[in-house]
Amino acid sequence: MKEQIDSVLQKARQMLGAAQTMQDLEQVRVQLLGKKGELTGILKQLGKLSAEERPKMGQLANEVRGQIEAHIQEKTRELQEAALACRLQEETLDITMPAVRQPAGSLHPLSIVLNDMIDIFKSMGFDVVDGPEVETDYYNFEALNVPADHPARDMQDTFYLGDNLLLRTQTSAAQIRTMESRRPPIRMICPGRVYRADEVDATHSPVFHQVEGLVVDKGITMCDLKGTLEQFAREIYGKDAKIKFRPSFFPFTEPSVEVDVSCPKCGGAGHTAAGDCSVCKGSGWIEILGAGMVHPRVLSGCGIDPQVYSGFAFGIGLDRLTITKYKISDIRLIFENDLRFLEQF
């Protein structure tokens, strides 16, 4: 029996030496140590031995089993290590290689200026409202004191969408919606796109942007309008910026003004060392908005008593403001989304 047991150990060494995979190892375990395995088979014969021999053989068999198990374990570790080394080799990463950079993108110049404007007006207590770009004739014209046959309709060449619908020509439509839905005191701005059937050139686009402003309260005067816009101009263009009111006409404000700001490039002189200033074209001033005191008829149309309340409104040309602030020469650049242009901001 001792020889039989020894030969199992021999066999185990042979088989394990040749084993290449985990399956091979399992095969060894089953064939030699399993329930029907060779060593187990030998142990079943123990009963036939003498009482003296039996414990010796039993002990020997157990030792051999222990040795074989240890071998299998060792071999298992070897195979695992080899597999790991192989994987590490295959999956080598060169972490010193420079990565491909994702371009980060940037804000559109209009968004930068609009964000600034929102911050400025919020700090003065205004809130920001939104209005529809497809408007009814009523909100875009009628309620703003421009009846159907009024010559002022020609001031704005309108895209009509049907009998009653149009693309808003001015964010002023949002004044009416705000006064209908809220009671004074009102302090709001409404930024957004507006549309006019204009030919495209360096200063005109059929779609552009306005920021409407509206303040309604008791005792609001033209001084409040001027102070608000002066503060706004100083924050946008710098503390030396000046503004100038010119008399004008809008059907929904009385009196009405157009507001110029001193040219940010030449500081109002109209010329630089190189000659006439290219931003203000030599005048020293740039028109940036229309404004005025809300017409009493507009207030009462919205159910606000003009005997008790007064207000001012303004409409700022956002594209104009952006162009002058960044000294951009052509409004088309704002809409074409040429990355070489946009990446500069």
Interface residues toward ligand PHE, by CB under 6 A? 170, 172, 250, 253, 290-292, 313-315
Q: In the complex with ligand PHE, which residue's Cβ is closer, 38 or 133?
A: 133
Q: In the complex with ligand PHE, which residue's Cβ is closer, 33 or 318?
A: 318
CA atoms within 13 A on the CB side of 33: 19
State in angstroms the smallest separation of the CB of 197 from ligand PHE: 14
What are the φ and ψ backbone dihedral angles of 215, each rounded to 5 degrees?
-130, 125
Q: In the complex with ligand PHE, which residue's Cβ is closer, 33 or 146?
A: 146
Alpha helices in 137-264 (DSSP H): 137-140, 173-181, 222-237
Count Cβ atoms within 10 A of the Cβ of residue 232 and give its class: 0-12 exposed, 13-18 middle, 19 or more buried.
buried
Q: In the complex with ligand PHE, which residue's Cβ is closer, 170 or 178?
A: 170
Q: Which two tokens stand for residue 299?
A: 């207030």
Q: In the complex with ligand PHE, which residue's Cβ is closer, 12 or 313?
A: 313
Contact predicate 290/256, CB 8 Å: yes
**Dist. CA 189–CA 183, nearest whole Å:** 15
State in angstroms the smallest separation of the CB of 334 from ligand PHE: 18
User: What's 97's DSSP letter?
Assistant: S
**Dist. CA 314–CA 291, nearest whole Å:** 4
Position with the least CB separation from ligand PHE: 315
Contact predicate 290/205, CB 8 Å: no
What are the φ and ψ backbone dihedral angles of 185, each rounded to 5 degrees?
-75, 135
Residue 157 three-state SS: coil
Q: In the complex with ligand PHE, which residue's Cβ is closer, 126 or 268?
A: 126
Rg (CA), the chain: 44
Q: In the complex with ligand PHE, which residue's Cβ is closer, 140 or 262?
A: 140
State in angstroms the smallest separation of the CB of 141 from ligand PHE: 11
What are the φ and ψ backbone dihedral angles of 296, each rounded to 5 degrees?
-55, -35
Cis geometry, peptide bond prior to residue 255 (ω within 30 degrees of 0): yes
State in angstroms the smallest separation of the CB of 170 from ligand PHE: 4
State in angstroms the smallest separation of the CB of 258 from ligand PHE: 8
State in angstroms the smallest separation of the CB of 290 from ligand PHE: 3
State in angstroms the smallest separation of the CB of 252 from ligand PHE: 6
State in angstroms the smallest separation of the CB of 306 from ligand PHE: 16
In 143-242 the beta strands, taken as DSSP E runs, fall at 165-167, 186-195, 207-217
Amino acid present at 214: L
Q: In the complex with ligand PHE, which residue's Cβ is closer, 131 or 315?
A: 315
**Residues found in the chain:** 345
Taking the CB of residue 274, how many other CB atoms lie within 10 A of it? 7
